[in-house]
Amino acid sequence: MLSLGRISAFRYDIREIMSHYRINEAEASTVMASVIAKASRISIDAARDYVREQEKTGIYPREALDEICNLVVRYSKLR
C-alpha cells in the first residue's frame, strides 16, 4: 500500500517525472490520480501494472515507466 502520510511528497515527485519527460498535462494528471488510487486502495502491484499498461499505449517513454515504478515502490509501506 502507498504510504498516505507521505502522499504530498509522492505527488511532487511524480509530477517532476512527468514534467521532465514533457508528458501532456491532461494525461499526466490522469495517470497520477490512477496510480495514487490503485496504490493506496488496491496494491502496489496493481499500480505498477497500470503504469506498464499506460507505457504500452505510448503516453510516456520506457525511462519514465522505470522511474514511476521505482517511485511507487519507494513510497510503499508494508501492512
Q: What is the pLDDT of residues 20-56, one digit of tens each?
A: 999 989 999 999 999 999 999 999 999 999 999 999 9
Q: Is the CB of residue 14 less than 8 Å from the CB of residue 74?
A: no
* 34 Cβ contact partners less than 8 Å away, ≥ 6 residues apart: 50
Q: What pLDDT, on a 0 to 100 scale, did the predictor assign at position 51?
A: 94
What's the rounded Cα separation, in Å, for the pair 46 and 58?
19
Q: Which three cell numbers stand for residue 39?
A: 496504490
Amino acid occupying residue 77: K
Domain borders along the chain are 4-74
CA distances (Å), 53 to each of 4, 16, 76, in order? 24, 21, 20
Q: Which three cell numbers stand for residue 11?
A: 505527488
pLDDT in tens, 4-15: 889 999 999 999
